[in-house]
């Protein structure tokens, strides 16, 4: 009989393996994004998960050495870094904190909001925040963020240069339209530097271990950053899965953030973090397999923050 001090560490490896296998099967219903050529080449069946509990227990399954770009899963950490560097006022003067009802790259959403990005978890908000990162240019800004995150999380994030080349090979008109609209509304000064920085930070890459370790910063962050970690978790819970966030709060009840590469990070306050990778996505751009697995774990262990 295992003695465990957290709900998360009571999860049996056999149970995790069974759910992960079913998650791979269900992910067949999802689509791999094609707008970044290298993302389109991802292995549909690729799957990895790591669960880190606050008592130090770690449970992993699948291709845990596979690296992937964080894409939108970097957004909570751009937010955290800027809250720590600049404080709440500077950050939330530039970006809102309301949930969005339209897709993550919607220009209509931005127009409805008179050019102020609705929240930091959608592209407009993250592009605006990318422009606030300290540094002379995109390379330096991304480097500063990466160093800070790796230091906080003891992770080994790196810039996936091949992915970045691939992103740059197909200019993303939707992101350009968002950036130009924000220049017009005064929420962005330089669209080129903002987009270059945004694309680079989205290509910060690592394994599920790195992602789970980042999640643990939000759970365990020391006193100096605890207040900002709380804010980031609140924004993840309300906005992290875009227009699917409210439904997810009802079904699962955990702060979470997805990325178009198929990553999904969830943090369980006081308990730990769950990071998964499974490339096929649903209509909202969230990992089908990752969502399935997370829901099973959360329901069986009663992890919802509303429980």
- CB of 204 or CB of 303, closer to ligand GLN: 204
Residues 6+ apart with CB under 8 A from 259: 69, 70, 71, 72, 73, 74, 202
How many beta carbons lie within 10 A of that of residue 70, not counting itself? 26
Tokens of 53: 């509990």
CA distance 139 to 151: 18
Tell me the closest approach of the beta carbon of residue 200 to ligand GLN, in angstroms: 10
Residues found near ligand GLN in the complex (CB under 6 A) = 71-72, 104-105, 123, 172, 175, 202, 259-260, 285
CA distance 264 to 253: 14
Which one-letter DSSP state was computed for residue 2? Answer: -
Tell me the closest approach of the beta carbon of residue 71 to ligand GLN, in angstroms: 3
How many beta carbons lie within 10 A of that of residue 250, not counting itself? 9
- CB of 16 or CB of 265, closer to ligand GLN: 265
102 phi, psi to nearest 5 deg:
-115, 170
CB neighbour class for 202 (10 Å; exposed up to 12, middle 13-18, buried from 19): buried
Tell me the closest approach of the beta carbon of residue 111 to ligand GLN, in angstroms: 18
- CB of 8 or CB of 132, closer to ligand GLN: 132
CA distance 28 to 298: 22
- CB of 7 or CB of 146, closer to ligand GLN: 146
- CB of 19 or CB of 77, closer to ligand GLN: 77
- CB of 221 or CB of 240, closer to ligand GLN: 240
Tell me the closest approach of the beta carbon of residue 140 to ligand GLN, in angstroms: 20
- CB of 125 or CB of 259, closer to ligand GLN: 259
Tell me the closest approach of the beta carbon of residue 72 to ligand GLN, in angstroms: 3
Tell me the closest approach of the beta carbon of residue 68 to ligand GLN, in angstroms: 11
145-151 long-range Cβ contacts below 8 angstroms, 24+ apart: 145/77, 145/78, 145/81, 145/201, 145/204, 146/204, 148/81, 149/77, 149/81, 149/204, 149/214, 149/217
Closest CB to ligand GLN belongs to which residue?
A: 72
- CB of 11 or CB of 195, closer to ligand GLN: 195
SS3 category, 267: strand
Tell me the closest approach of the beta carbon of residue 138 to ligand GLN, in angstroms: 14
SS3 category, 48: strand
Tell me the closest approach of the beta carbon of residue 289 to ligand GLN, in angstroms: 16
Strand pairing of 48-53 and 58-62? antiparallel
CA distance 37 to 22: 28
């Amino acid at each position: 009989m295992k003695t465990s001090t957290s709900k998360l560490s009571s999860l049996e490896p056999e149970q995790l393996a069974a759910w992960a296998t079913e998650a791979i099967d269900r992910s067949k219903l999802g689509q791999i994004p094609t707008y970044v050529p290298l993302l389109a080449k991802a292995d549909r069946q690729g799957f990895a998960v790591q669960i880190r509990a606050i008592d130090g227990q770690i449970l992993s399954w699948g291709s845990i050495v596979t690296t992937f770009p964080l894409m939108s899963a970097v957004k909570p950490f751009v937010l955290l870094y800027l809250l720590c560097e600049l404080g709440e006022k500077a950050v939330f003067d530039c970006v809102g904190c309301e949930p969005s009802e339209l897709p993550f790259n919607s220009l209509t959403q931005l127009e409805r909001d008179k050019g102020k990005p609705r929240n930091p978890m959608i592209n407009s908000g993250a592009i605006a925040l990318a422009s606030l990162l300290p540094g002379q240019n995109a390379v330096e800004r991304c480097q500063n963020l990466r160093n800070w995150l790796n230091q906080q999380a003891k992770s080994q994030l790196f810039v996936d240069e091949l992915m970045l080349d691939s992103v740059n090979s197909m200019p993303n008109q939707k992101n350009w339209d968002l950036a130009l609209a924000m220049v017009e509304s005064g929420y962005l000064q330089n669209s080129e530097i903002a987009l270059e920085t945004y694309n680079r930070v989205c290509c910060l890459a690592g394994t599920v271990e790195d992602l789970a370790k980042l999640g643990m910063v939000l759970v365990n962050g020391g006193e100096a950053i605890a207040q900002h970690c709380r804010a980031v978790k609140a924004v993840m819970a309300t906005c992290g899965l875009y227009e699917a966030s409210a439904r997810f709060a009802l079904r699962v009840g955990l702060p979470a953030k997805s990325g178009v590469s198929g990553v999904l990070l969830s943090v369980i306050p006081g308990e730990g973090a769950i990071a998964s990778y499974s490339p096929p996505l649903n209509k909202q751009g969230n990992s089908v397999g990752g969502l399935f697995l997370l829901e099973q774990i959360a329901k069986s262990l009663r992890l919802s923050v509303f429980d």
